[in-house]
Structures are given as C-alpha cells and as structure tokens.
Amino acid sequence: MFLPAVPEGVVWAILLLPIASLLVVSFITKPYPKLSAYVTIAAIGGAFLLAIWTLDSVIDTDGHALAFGSYRWLEISTGNPVLRQLGGPNLSVDLALRIDGLSAIMLVVVTSVSLLVQVYSQGYMYGDTGYSRYFAYMSLFTAAMLGLIMVDSILMVYVFWELVGLGSYLLIGFWFHKKSAADAAKKAFLTTRLGDIGFLLAILLIWSKTNTFNIPLIQEMAQHGQITDAVLTLFALGIFAGAVGKSAQFPLHVWLPDAMEGPTPVSALIHAATMVAAGVYLVARMYPVFQVSDEALKTVAYVGGFTAIFAASIGIVVTDIKRVLAYSTISQLGYMMPALGLGAATLAMCHLTTHAFFKALLFLGSGSVNHATGTFDMRKMGGLKKYMPITYATYVVGSLSLAGIVPFAGFWSKDEILGAAWNDDKILWAVAMAVVFMTAFYSFRAIFLTFHGDYKGGEPPEHGAAPDAHAGKPHESPLVMVLPLLILAVPATLAGFVNYPMHSTEALAHLLEGALPESSAAALHHQSFNWGIAISSSALAFAGIGLAYAVYQANAISAESLQKVWGPVHTLVARKYYMDELYENLIVKEGLYNFTTRIGQWIDTNIIDGAVNGAATVARRTGDGLRWVQSGSVQAYGTVGFAGLVAASFLMLVLLER
C-alpha cells in the first residue's frame, strides 16, 4: 500500500531474528544481563517492523497469500522398508511460508505485544539472577509462535506448536526453586500434551488419506468433497483437541491459572498474544475444514460457550488479581470459540486481536501493582489510585475494553459475536450475555479492591522478581514499565475501529476473508450491526459495574452477606468446582499413579522376580544334579565313563550305517 512488495527473505527474517537472539543471548551475552535484554528487544523490534512491512504487502493483495517458494525438507519414498511394510504413501515434508491476511495480522499482534513485554521486563525482572536466561527463553517462545503462524504445512505447525509448549514450560517454571512454580510448569506441559495427542493423530489421519501436509491443499480438498465427511470430522475434532489444550478450554483449562506462578510479563505474553491464542488461531486457520463438518462446528461452539461461563463464574470470587485475569482469559477464549462454531470466524479473530492488546495491558498493570506492593492478593492492596495514577488510568482503560464498554476496542468485537449468536443459537446468545455481566463485575471488582479505599499494606515478595517491591508506601513503577502501559492503552481503546462494523469495508474482516478459499469465504456468516443487542449488552455491562461498585466501593451491599446467601454455591465456585481435586485425586493418584503402581508391582513380582527366582531354581537343580556326579567315588566315575563310552560307540555305528 505504502511500501514496495516485501521480499521472501525479509519475511524469513521475522522468524530468524528471535532465533538469532536466542543463540546470541545463550552463548555470547549471557554474562552481560543488560546487553541480553537489548539484543532481545532489538531482535523482536526488528521483527515487528518487518511484520508491518509484510502486512502492508498483504493489504495490497486484499488478504490473499503472498507468492513464496516451497523447499523440500524431508522425503521418504515407499522404497523405504518401513513405509513399504506400512503400505503408506510417499512421505514428503515441505518447508514454506504462507503469509495471508490471517497470518499477517497475527504477526503484527504477536511481535508488537512481545516487544512491549520485553521492554517492560527490563524493569520487572531487574536484579533477578536469571535475567539473561529469561530473555533467552522469551526469544525462544516468540520464535516458536511466529513459526506456528507462518508455515503452510500442518506437520510443521505441529513442530512449532510443541516448541511453544516447551517455551511455556521453561517460562512458567522460570523460578524453578519454588515448588509451586515447578509444579505449575509440569502441570501446563502435561495437560497440554493431552490435547496434542489428538492433534498429532489428526495429522497422521489426514496424511494417510491425502498424502499431503499442505494446509491450502487440504482446505481445497475438503471444500470440494475430495475427503469423506467422516474423515474430515475426525480430523477437525483432533485439531480442536489440540486447541482445547493450548487455549485452556474445558476440561483442559486447569493449567492456565497455575501458570500465574511464572513472571508477570510471561503471563501477559502467554495470555494475550501467544500460547493461548494459538488454539483459536489454529481453528481459524483450518476453518475451511471445520465448515464441512456440522458436528465439529457444534462441538467447538458448545465447548467454548460452556468454558466462557464456567471460567467467568470463578473469576468473580478469586482474590488474586493475576488469577482473576487468568480466568478472564479462559472465559474470553471460550467467547471466541462459539463465534468460530457459528460460522463467524472473522469475528473470532477480530476479538482475538483486540483481546491481545487489552489483556496484555491488564496483565502488565497487575505486574506494576505487584512491583509496588509485593503481592497479587487484592485483599492486601487498596488505595493505590493516588500512589499509582498512570497504572490506575491504564488499568481502567483495559477493564473498560474487557467489559465491552463503548467505544473501547472490546465493545465492537464482543457485540458482533453476540449478534452472530442471536441469529443462529439463542442458547449460546443467553450464555454470552450472562458472561458480559460477569466480566464487567469481576473486572471492576478488581479495580475497586486494588485501587480504591485504603491501602492495606501489601507484603514483601516471595520471589526475587522485584527486589525493590516492599510493604511500605507504594509507588508508581519506573518509566520502562509505565511506557508499555501507555502504549498498549491506545490499541485497547482504538483497535476496534479497525473493523468498525458500521462502515461498509470492515477492513480487518476483509483481510481475514481473503485468507480463506473463495468457497469458504462465501459461506461465512455476515450480519449488520445490531443496535438492540449493543444497547442490551451495554446495559448488562453497566449493571455488572454497578453491582461491583455497590459491594466493593459504596459498601451498600456486604460481600460477606452475599457469600452467606449463596452458601454452598459460593463454596463450589471458590473451590473452582473441585476440578483440581478431581484431576489430582481421581485421575493422577487413582487413575495414573495407583494404576501404574499396581501394574509395576505385578511386573516386578511375576516377571522380574519370576525370572530371577526361576534362574535361581534352575541353577539350584543343576547343582543338585552335578553334586551326584561329583561324588568323589572312583566306582561312580568309572560307571559314568563306561556308560558314556557305550553311548558314543552306539551313536557312531548309527551314523556310519547312514
């Protein structure tokens, strides 16, 4: 549009710059922490600028893919004995980039949020003994997410998908000396692997039926009926299984709240633009496949809808400000899934885009609060408005966008999803409206508990992330932390106008539709802006804010009395519906630990001990036999020798006759 067409080498550089940063920080600048941060920031900043250039070129193509070459990475023919034995087709894996409207937008979102997070991290992680290691992990994590977005092979997507999982494991468990952090990292890694098994099986299934990993080719074959409906349904459900793990949808959501054990900038990156966004992105990327299967679409819609209201209800009662945002992320991702399931893929991606900015803003704001108070417990905060005016103002902006208040970014994408639900599924619409009320309530509950009232003293930090955090008089964060907040507040306010629904172009949706095959784009659900839904949802959002004000600011309603009224329901929600206990006791201890223990005990007793004891028995009985031979009696030796001589002579005679 404004710049010349982006060369292929420049697009490759978007991926290679964070990889280069990882190598440089790991092997060269590790002894120099500040330099490690500068290298990472420079690399991701460069990737961001190149992503902008790439987006400009994609705008010129109306969202259609840029023409780049394909490179054969691996090929195994049926002449290979393994493949011949399996009777499968030739196995070939190509390495190529696919940059269209969907991937170009995601590139800008990921690199911009990651850049601001790295800048912010200089202040938040200052003085940490693992400072250089932190930036190396961040480079790996960003590179993995960029690779996942850019490649056009479903197998290569899986490779980067697993690298994202590795990066999250390293970052969530960054403070590995804390048992809670180490446990959270293992929990995240193992839980997401459950979904990844389904994803891998789906890849193997589609290759066995199509002999290709190429995403555009698979999409075209699906749209033109060249793959059976049964295969496409299984393939789509396998993909969604992977998305359920990465995007923390029920029942694989349990890892995400515990991921708060990692540094707050990590939480901002994971929860806003990278790991959790990967699941929604994957479903959107493979949307032409999902379109063919009504069963898969309904599964996506209803799992997402249930997750949205399930997580929002927990967000109402938790007292840790980061965990409020964690459950909010689960809920908002669940909000996007019904849009995908209802045929409004572009709306889901629009909400993913706006969510990335305002959720990153909120997480970084919570980190700023922790930097000043040494705690994430909102019950130990209060009164921070006068001490931290910039953090307060930007946090309110993020919360207004999250609550869907006009004209903030979250309003436009949220209301278009509500419109799609109203047109196609009234049950999902009712669920989404309930989520609107809950979201507004828990967002402003956090504001009133954290920033209003009297300061309650905070506490010293339990880890070494913010050594200048203290329990005394709180303070505004340094400029290196405040500046990213101010920058993120801009798209958190204005990003929705990029897809302004009352304008005929809807630029963002136009680019996203260009990324789809023509037949798939033509089948997308479109609806005009619904003022009735906008007004009713806004009224619900203001009602949620009003209730939060009445309970936590005006004290017109006692929070304790509400807890008593709801009684067992409040306990159930506060205990997160006992999902952690279910996983820990029933599945992990009883299902896995005890089961595997019993199997191991049986193998040890019947196979290993049996083999050892059997060998001992054979040796003992052999010894008993040999003991008779080795008697010390000359007569016995003579008898045995004579018998052996007779037997040998007889054998020789038999052989000679033949």
**Count of helix runs (H) and strand runs (E) in the chain:** 29, 2
Tokens of 470: 């203290």
Give residue 589's pLDDT band: very low, low, confident or very high (50, 70, 90).
low
Look at 244-248, 509-513, 527-531, 594-598 and tell me which has the smallest mean pLDDT: 594-598
Q: pLDDT higher for 419 or 118?
A: 118
CB 213 within 8 Å of CB 89 = no
The pLDDT assigned to 324 comes to 95
Tokens of 163: 């690298």
Q: pLDDT higher for 270 or 108?
A: 108
Query: Average pLDDT for residues 261-290, to the nearest whole number?
Result: 90
CB 297 within 8 Å of CB 343 = yes
Partners of 93 in beta bridges: 74
The set of residues, in sequence order, having a beta carbon less than 8 Å from that of 343 and lying 6+ positions away, is 291, 297, 420, 424, 523, 524, 525
Whether 88 has a pLDDT exceeding 70, the answer reads no
The set of residues, in sequence order, having a beta carbon less than 8 Å from that of 113 and lying 6+ positions away, is 268, 269, 272, 273, 274, 356, 357, 360, 488
> What's at 356, amino acid-wise?
A
Report residue 153 CA to chain centroid gap.
20
Coil, strand or helix at 84:
helix
Integer Rg of the chain from CA: 31
Distances (CA, A) of 57 to 3, 62, 63, 94, 482: 7, 9, 9, 24, 33
Among the listed residues 75, 115, 541, the one whose alpha carbon sits nearest the alpha carbon of residue 357: 115
Q: pLDDT higher for 639 or 430?
A: 430
User: What SS3 string covers 47-74?
Assistant: HHHHHHHHHHHHHHCCCCCCCCCEEEEE
Partners of 95 in beta bridges: 71
pLDDT, tens digit, for every residue of 531-564? 888 899 999 999 999 999 999 999 888 888 888 7
Mean pLDDT of the chain: 87
Q: Which region holds residue 500: left if phi is over 0, alpha if psi is between -120 and 50, else beta?
A: beta
Coil, strand or helix at 377:
strand
Cα–Cα distance for residue pair 276/330, rounded to 1 Å? 9
Core vs surface per residue 295-316: b (16+ CB within 10 A) or e: ebbebbbbbbbbbbbbbbbbbb
The pLDDT assigned to 78 comes to 54
The set of residues, in sequence order, having a beta carbon less than 8 Å from that of 28 and lying 6+ positions away, is none
Give residue 464's pLDDT band: very low, low, confident or very high (50, 70, 90).
very low
> What is the share, in percent, of the chain residues with pLDDT greater than 90?
59
Q: Is the peptide bond before 474 cis (omega within 30 degrees of 0)?
A: no
Give residue 633's pLDDT band: very low, low, confident or very high (50, 70, 90).
low
Look at 237-246, 551-560, 598-607, 635-644 and tell me which has the smallest mean pLDDT: 635-644
Please report which helix (H) or strand (E) contains residue 93, including its range: strand 91-96
Tokens of 368: 């700023």
Burial category of 37 from C-beta neighbours within 10 Å (exposed 0-12, middle 13-18, buried 19 and up): buried
> What's at 314, amino acid-wise?
I
Whether 654 has a pLDDT exceeding 80, the answer reads no
Distances (CA, A) of 579 to 100, 195, 254, 311: 40, 17, 7, 12
pLDDT, tens digit, for every residue of 591-608? 565 666 667 676 767 777
Annotate 415-477 with DSSP letters as a single string: HHHHHHHHHH-HHHHHHHHHHHHHHHHHHHHHHHHHHSS--------SSSS-TT--SSS--PP
The pLDDT assigned to 467 comes to 42
CB 371 within 8 Å of CB 466 = yes
Whether 84 has a pLDDT exceeding 90, the answer reads no
Name the phi and psi angles at 320, rounded to 5: -85, 120
Look at 142-156, 247-261, 472-486, 504-518 and tell me which has the smallest mean pLDDT: 504-518
Q: pLDDT higher for 350 or 651?
A: 350
> What's at 306, amino acid-wise?
F
The pLDDT assigned to 588 comes to 62
The pLDDT assigned to 507 comes to 76
Cα–Cα distance for residue pair 396/369, rounded to 1 Å? 13
Give residue 343's pLDDT band: very low, low, confident or very high (50, 70, 90).
confident
CB 290 within 8 Å of CB 223 = no
Whether 135 has a pLDDT exceeding 80, the answer reads yes
Roughly how many angstroms between the first and final C-alpha of the chain, as a whole number?
97
The set of residues, in sequence order, having a beta carbon less than 8 Å from that of 302 and lying 6+ positions away, is 338, 341, 428
Please report which helix (H) or strand (E) contains residue 483, including its range: helix 479-494
Long-range contacts of 127-131 (CB under 8 A, 24+ apart): 127/464, 127/467, 127/468, 128/464, 128/465, 129/464, 130/174, 130/175, 131/33, 131/36, 131/37
Cα–Cα distance for residue pair 180/189, rounded to 1 Å? 14
Please report which helix (H) or strand (E) contains residue 110, including its range: helix 101-124
Cα–Cα distance for residue pair 207/196, rounded to 1 Å? 17
Whether 85 has a pLDDT exceeding 80, the answer reads no
Give residue 460's pLDDT band: very low, low, confident or very high (50, 70, 90).
low
CB 338 within 8 Å of CB 301 = yes
Coil, strand or helix at 622:
helix
The pLDDT assigned to 272 comes to 81
Tokens of 157: 């997507």
Tokens of 498: 């990029």
Handedness of CA 296, 297, 300, 301 (dihedral sign): negative
Q: pLDDT higher for 528 or 325?
A: 325
